[in-house]
Every structure is written in C-alpha cells, then in structure tokens.
Amino acid sequence: MLIPIEELRGNSGKLCGGKASALGFLHRNGMIVPPGTCISTTAYNEYVDRTGLRGRILLEMNRKPFEEMRWEELWDLSEKIKLMFARTPLPPEMEKELEAELFRRFGKKAVAVRSSAPGEDTAKTSFAGVHASYVNIRGTPEILRHLRLVWASLWSDTALLYRKEMGLDIFNSAMAVLVQETVEGRSSGVAFGMSPENKSEAVVEAVYGLNKGLVDGTVEPDRWTLSRETGDIKTHMPAEREKTVVAGNESRGEEGTELKNLPEALKKKPPLTPEEVLEVYSLTGKAEALFGTPQDVEWTFRESTLYTLQSRPITTLLQEDRDEKRRWYLSLRRSFENLKELRAAIEEKYIPAMQAEALDLEKENLSATSDPALAEEIEKRAEIYRKWHDIYWEEFIPFAHGARLFGKVYNETVNPKDPYEFADLLSGTEMLSLERNRKLEEMAGRLREKPELLKGLSAFKENKDKEEPVQENETELENETELENETELENETELENETELENETELENEFRKELEAFISRYGGSYSESPEAKEGLYRLLLEMASRPLLPPVAGKKDPDRIRRLKEKFLSSFEDEKQKFAAELLDLARASYRLRDDDNIYLGKIEAELQRAFLEGRKRLEKRGLKEPEIPPARTFREPALVKELTKALCNPAYRPGPEKLPRKPQIPGTAGITKENVRPRQLLGNPSGPGTAEGHARVILKDSDLFDLKAGEVLICDAVDPNMTFVVPLCAAIVERRGGMLIHGAIIAREYGIPCITGVPDATKLIKNGDYLSVDGYLGIVTVLKRRDL
C-alpha cells in the first residue's frame, strides 16, 4: 500500500497517480524533491470496499441522474459524501499497518498530505487546484485523518464537475495520496517553462514563505519574464508585498498554515535575486528535457537549496481551446480574504447604489411622458437592469460561496453527524423576505380582526373576477343604470348607513394604500403586473382564512444555535478562534444576502417592467394586440424591448413574426403525455427537516402562485426570492432544482417547513390536487392519492 518516492517507476501512474509518479521520476534523475512515500490507490479501494462506503456513495449518486445535476446539487452531494469519509474510521488492521509505516518514516516531523489521483498532472487532465492537499501536519493520527480528507476530495464539487466536463468515469475514480516532509521555504513559487501568453518566453512567479498563498490567490507574487532562447530576464513586475503564508507555530502545536504580515525589511526586497530567478528557470528546462514537453513547476528555496515540489505539463499549451473553456470550475472556490472584499463592496457600495437608483426610477411619472420619451425611458431602464444584472452575477453570486466555505470548514473541524448542521447555525439570520412575510401576516391579521374590511376586500376580489370587456355603448348604458341605482339608493338609505359605508370605504382605501406601500418596499417584478396585484389580494384573503402563524423571529431554538456556535468556535485554538468567528459572521452575511440580493435586484426589475407595461398599454390603445406587440413576460429581453420602443416611436411599425418569441417551455414539462408512467414515490435531496401531508399545488407560471391554498404542498421548478411570500401557507416545498442553500430551502428552514430539492421532473410527475406525503429527513415524496383516481 505504501511506495517510497525513490521506488516509483514510470508505469506507477495507476497506483500512485501523476503527481507522485512525476516526482519519483525527477528524483531518479537527480533533482531534489522532499522525501516521502505514496499511499497507493490500493489503500483507497480497500478502504471504501471494507467499510461499505462505495455502496453508500453509489446510493447518494443515484438519487438523480448525474448529468441533470446543477452545481448546487453537486455541492450538497459532495458535502454528504465527504462527511462519510471524515466519520468512517479505517479498518483496524489497515490503520495499524499504515500507522506503523508512517511513524517509521516520519516520526513527529511535519509533513504535507497531498492528492495524487490517477490522471492528475498529465498532459490531458491536470486537475490543477481540484483536489485537497494539507501542509504542516504532525503525528500519525493526524496524518491518517488528513489522508481520509484527501480521499474525500475526490468527491468535492469541483472534482465532480471537472470529471463530468472531461468525460471521465466518476464512479470508478480512485485516489493515491503523497505524504512528504514539509519543506518550509523562505521563498516559493511557480514557474512556466513556456509562457501561456507568449511561447517565446518563460515565466517565474515568487512569494515569501509557502506556496499556498500564491496558489490560492491570497498573496500577490513578483513576476519575471525570461527569454526561452537565451534565458535573459526581460521584465520584472514587483508585487505589493504585504502578506506571507507560513507554517503554524510548532512550539504551540499548531498545524496547517497562517497568513501573516510580511516583515518591513522584506517589503521592499524581491523574494528572489536575479541569480535565483535563473536557477528556477534552469529547473524548468531540466524538467522539460526529462518529460519532453514544457512544464509548470512548483518549487521552494530552503536556505540556498532549491526543491521541486511538483511538475506537470502546461495543459493550456497542449489543448488551449478545450481546456480554457473548462477553467470556470476553479471560480467555484473563493478564498476568505476575497470573500471579505466582496462583502465590503456589496454592503457598502452596490446595495446602497442599487436602492438609490430604484428609488429614483420609482419617482418617475411615466404616464405623463410622450411616446418617444417613454421609449427612451424604457431603453434607459433596460440598460440599468442589464448593468445590475451583470453586477449581480459577477459580485453577488460569488459571495454566496461564503456560506459554502463555512459549511466546508464546519464539517472538517466539527465533524457532525448531519452534513447540513452548519445551516442551522446560519439560520435565524434576519432577511428581507422574512420581514416582508411578517408584514403580510400583519395585514392578514387586520383582515381577521375587522370582518367588514375582509368582506369589502372579498367583494372587491369578486367584482374584479367578474369583470369582462364591454363595448363603449354598453359601458355608457351601464354607467347610466349605475347612476340611477345610486340615486335611488341615496334616497332610500339612512344617514347612519351612509356614514358606516363611508367609514368602511375609507378603511378599505387605507388598506389598499398600505398594500401599495408594501409593494413599493418589497415588490419584485411580479408587483407591476395588474394580475399579480390582484393575486396579492387573493393571497391575503387566503392568509386571513387560517389561524395566525407564530412569528418567525425567535422560532429557532436560541439555545441550540448558541450550543452550535460554541461547538464550532471551540474546535479552534487561541488566535484561530478569531478567524472562526469572522468566518461565521461572513457566512451569516452570505446566507442573508443569498436571499436579500434578489429582492434588491427585483426592485430594479420591477421598474423596467413598469415602463414596459406602460408602453404596451399605449400600443393597445392604438389597437395593437399580441402577437403584434411583445408579450408582457418578455420585458427582460433586449431584442423585444427594442421592438416595443420602435413601435412606440413609429405608429406604422409592426414587429415581424420572426422577431416575436415562442411560448416558453416550462422546465420539467417536456414530453408530458397521458401514457407517461407516473411513479408513486420520488426521490430528491433532503433540504429542510420534517414531515407533512397535503394536496399538491404545481406552479407552472407566475400567476399559479396566487392560487396556493393554506396547507398545500408547493411543487415548482425552483423557489425564487420574489415567490417566498407564499411559503408561510405551505405544508411543504418540493423543487425540481436542488441545493441546500437555494432560496426555497433557506426560507423553508426558517419556517420549519419540510423541503426536498432536486426532485427530477417534479412539475411533470406531480399534478395539481395529488395528495402527497413529504419526508424532509429522507428526501422522499410519496403520492398517497392521485387527483384523477
């Protein structure tokens, strides 16, 4: 199971992986590498087979077809599988064998525990930055614990995505692990024997301390370019030398690394002398000569000795187009420092600016503008929406990784039974959607308290439901009839009744004003649609028809949250507790903004929709109808916004049929036929604990949302933050898309509602009215009774 580096041969890739095999090859050819040994893939396979992990992994992997899984679902799946490794000890005989050999080789020396999967660091698949490695680990128990963590990284979200993109066999993957003495270099870095940007140049990058800071982006490197032909240094781009990554303090028993301020004496001094730059460049030349292709080499200087830490082909040179398209998977990881910067930008810059811009747009009286001015305003708003939409994806979405980074750290340090326990520590965080839902509940409460108001609102709803288009002469006749009836009523009604009626009308008007203020503060794109506004009336009536819900604030057990916090913080020692507390604070902000940011963007979206609908209304007054004008749902589409503004500015303009959109396909509804088999039981990912039963309410379009009745099970493609106001009415939530940290799961946990995500074809296989049982612990939806049976 263990093969020393010096015994590795060129055909050892399947047993020891690319990284270990390459270092063994370099060692045999006279290059200096840190001493170490490889724990082969044989050990991995024996471990997963003897402990039963292989079967448990297959069970989780088959909850949903792998090719249909979104990244959020893969992340959940990954955390569940990784925790299996962390909580499953090695078989006793295997542990005894490994422990004896590792202690004989390393004793109490600090070591690096590094991934070396078959296929890693090869010309076809580099796996750069995908699998885990740990440095400065001491003692055989800790080495064996980190061995399982490296094995677990074979199933990380990024590793799964990479294998999926590269078409590799995920189910038969295995992992070798390289254990080497830690070389605590004074300067470290990477070198490219051929620059990915200019094939006539080589590149050397260096930082003070360990390489980790350069690799994860927390420390900016100095950068030198050299001529490949002569080896002359062409340019030197100095860094802003502020930080360095060093090994934990051995005297305090600290493992891992820490980020420290660079001493003042080193801030103005490059980490390498010109002679050392040339020595590193020479190292890449030797590696290229041995492997026959330009190499990406990691290295470190300890005193004056240059060590080779890793060597792999430069894949971007061998397969530029294919590999570059797959670099996106690395963006799934965000460093703590990077996330702190994102948070500051979001909270201090972007959110205030977005709110101010939405408020300015809301003040505009669109009905008073001319058609050309309205067209200009629509295009302006479309541009503003696109700007904020791009910022949302570039800044807000990446910040969501703060909660996931916390989940990863929590699971690796606390080692809980439940891989999603970390989410309980994040829950209870105040969010705009919870504030909005409390406001809705307050309004529903007033309807319960004042029957006359409830009656008036019900009558308003009924009248709106009965309204039909009428011809102009019919309208005049109705108006005359109404006037006669009103006159007769005035003559017959007592003054007291008139006063009572006026009071009720005033009460209703005040309530409607309150609802308009609610929409102004919280409303998303749905709020500008007349149908959606009427839907809100129906929703309030439905909320008023059932008993008052207890307030969400304080519903989470504060003692449990406090205990979870203490358990997490106590897993860190001394100074690292400060990092843990900062990470928890950042994760709570990430968790909160994962929901709030959509509401902020929704207000910008609503203002674009308001202008778009005003434009449609004017075109309808000219006699135009769909499909001559773009449908209301297309207000986000730039090409159709352009068609609308052209028609506003030019009365003779008509969009051609080829420019109008086809009816959108509802996700999860393709291929629906009466002959489809509809299973009784559906499997998904448990995302909100609890069990519940109720009739299904399937959401296929926005307006369906307002038909939800209290106690029904919400079935949808995915819960958008602008939809979460209906969650208090739900018995449970089932979503086709998956993820522990998507909006529906977050809000369901806040209300203690069972939630299952990632249910394949949920909106296709479940019909309105089906009676369901939802098990949020196991992720199982059971159809107890079909609507049509």
For the domain spanning 2-181, the CATH number is 3.30.1490.20
How much helix, strand and coil, in percent to the nearest 5, is found in the chain? 55, 15, 30
Q: Which of 20-24, 572-576, 651-655 is most confident?
A: 20-24
Of the two residues 651 and 300, the one the predictor is more confident about is 300
Decide if pLDDT at 586 tops 60: yes
Please determine, for residue 554, whether its predicted confidence score (pLDDT) is greater than 50.
no
Q: How far apart are CA 695 and CA 776, in angstroms?
A: 16
Helices (H), 185-227: 212-215
* Structure-token pair, residue 360: 């300015």
pTM of the model: 0.74
pLDDT of 720 higher than 50:
yes
pLDDT band at 322 (very low <50, low <70, confident <90, very high): very low
Rounded Cα gap, residues 768 and 746, in angstroms:
24
CA angle 741, 747, 752 (to 5 degrees): 110
**Of the ranges 336-340, 452-456, 685-689, 780-784, which is most confident?**
780-784
* pLDDT, tens digit (0-9, with 9 covering 90-100), for 363-375: 999 999 999 999 9
Query: E strand or H helix at 306, and its extent?
Result: strand 305-313
Q: Could you report the per-residue pLDDT of 1-16, keeping only the tens digit for each?
A: 899 998 887 667 788 9
Band the pLDDT of 320: cuts 50, 70, 90. very low
- Measured CA distances, 125 to 130, 172, 322, 335 (Å): 11, 16, 11, 24
Q: For residue range 426-441, list pLDDT tens digits in order.
A: 877 777 778 888 888 8
Q: Which of 382-396, 413-427, 737-751 reaches the highest mean pLDDT?
A: 382-396
Specify the pLDDT at position 552. 47
Q: Mean pLDDT over residues 109-118, rounded?
A: 91
Is residue 51 a contact partner of residue 114, using CB atoms and an 8 Å limit? Answer: no
Q: Which of 722, 231, 208 is nearest to 437 (CA)?
A: 722
Long-range CB pairs of 380-389 (<8 Å, 24+ gap) are 381/607, 381/608, 381/611, 382/608, 382/638, 382/641, 384/357, 384/604, 384/608, 385/604, 385/605, 385/608, 385/636, 386/638, 388/354, 388/357, 388/601, 388/604, 389/601
> HSE of 387 in the Cβ direction (CA atoms, 13 Å)?
13
pLDDT-derived band at 474 (thresholds 50, 70, 90) equals very low
DSSP of 558-576: HHHHHHHHHHHHTTS-TTH
Angstrom distance (rounded) from CA 198 to CA 235: 13
CB 53 within 8 A of CB 88: yes
> Is 50 exceeded by the pLDDT of residue 476?
no
**Dihedral-angle region of residue 426 (phi above 0 means left; psi in -120 to 50 means alpha; beta otherwise):** alpha
Q: Compute the half-sphere exposure of residue 730: CA atoms within 13 Å on the CB side of its CA.
A: 36
pLDDT over threshold 70, residue 460: no
Task: Provide the pLDDT for residue 194.
Answer: 93
What's 662's DSSP letter?
A: P
- pLDDT tens-digit series, residues 227-247: 998 999 999 999 999 999 988
CATH architecture of 681-785: 3-Layer(bba) Sandwich (3.50)
Distance between CA atoms of 620 and 120, rounded to whole angstroms?
A: 62
Across the chain, mean pLDDT equals 82
The CATH label, of 3.30.470.20, 3.40.630.10, 3.30.70.100, 3.40.50.300, for the domain at 187-331 is 3.30.470.20
Q: Which residue has the tokens 């500008």?
A: 528
Q: Which pair of structure tokens corresponds to residue 739?
A: 């993820």
Q: Are 426 and 587 in contact (CB under 8 A)?
A: yes
Residue whose structure tokens are 């470190």:
300
CA distance to 197, 289, 613, per residue, from 294 (Å) = 13, 8, 59
| SS3 assignment, position 233 | strand
The pLDDT > 90 percentage for the chain reads: 41
Query: pLDDT, tens digit, for every residue of 529-544?
Result: 666 677 777 788 888 8
Domain residue extents for the chain: 2-181, 187-331, 336-428+556-655, 433-544, 681-785
pLDDT at position 566 is 93
Q: How confident is the model at residue 673 (pLDDT cuts 50, 70, 90)?
A: very low
Question: Dihedrals φ, ψ of 672, to 5°?
Answer: -75, 125
pLDDT class for 469, splitting at 50, 70, 90? very low
pLDDT of residue 43 exceeding 70, the answer is yes
pLDDT reading at 42 higher than 90: yes
Residue 214: what pLDDT?
85
**One-letter amino acid of 55:** G
In this model, does residue 748 exceed pLDDT 60? yes
pLDDT tens digit sequence for 611-637: 998 998 999 888 887 767 777 777 888
Taking a C-beta distance cutoff of 8 angstroms, is the pair 122, 18 a contact? yes
Q: Are 519 and 536 in contact (CB under 8 A)?
A: yes
- Indicate the pLDDT class of residue 595, thresholds 50, 70 and 90: confident
Q: For 127-174, what is each residue's pLDDT tens digit?
A: 455 788 899 999 999 999 999 999 999 998 888 887 777 777 777 789
Say what the alpha-carbon torsion angle 98, 100, 104, 109 is, to the nearest 10 degrees: 70
Give the SS3 label for residue 84.
Answer: helix
- Is the pLDDT at 700 greater than 80? The verdict is yes
Q: Kindly report, residue by residue over 264-283, the tens digit of the pLDDT.
A: 999 999 999 999 999 999 99
Cα 1 to Cα 700: distance, rounded to the nearest angstrom: 55
Between residues 780 and 662, the one the model is more confident about: 780
Q: What is the pLDDT of residue 782?
A: 94
Strands 201-208 and 771-775: unpaired
pLDDT at 477 over 80: no
Rounded Cα gap, residues 23 and 9, in angstroms:
10
Q: pLDDT tens digits for 86-110?
A: 999 999 999 999 999 999 999 989 9
- Asked if 722 contacts 529 with a C-beta cutoff of 8 angstroms, the reply is no
Asked whether the CA dihedral 667, 671, 673, 676 is positive or negative, the reply is: negative
Q: Report residue 250's pLDDT band, with 50, 70 and 90 as the boundaries.
A: low
pLDDT over 50 (residue 65)? yes
Cis check: omega of the bond before 627, within 30 degrees of 0: yes
Q: What is the pLDDT of residue 728?
A: 84
In this prediction, residues 176-188 reach a mean pLDDT of 94
pLDDT at 491: 52
pLDDT at 658 over 70: no
Residue 365 CB coordination number (10 Å): 6
The SS3 assignment for 578 reads helix
Pick from 526, 441, 514, 447: which is nearest to 751 by CA?
441
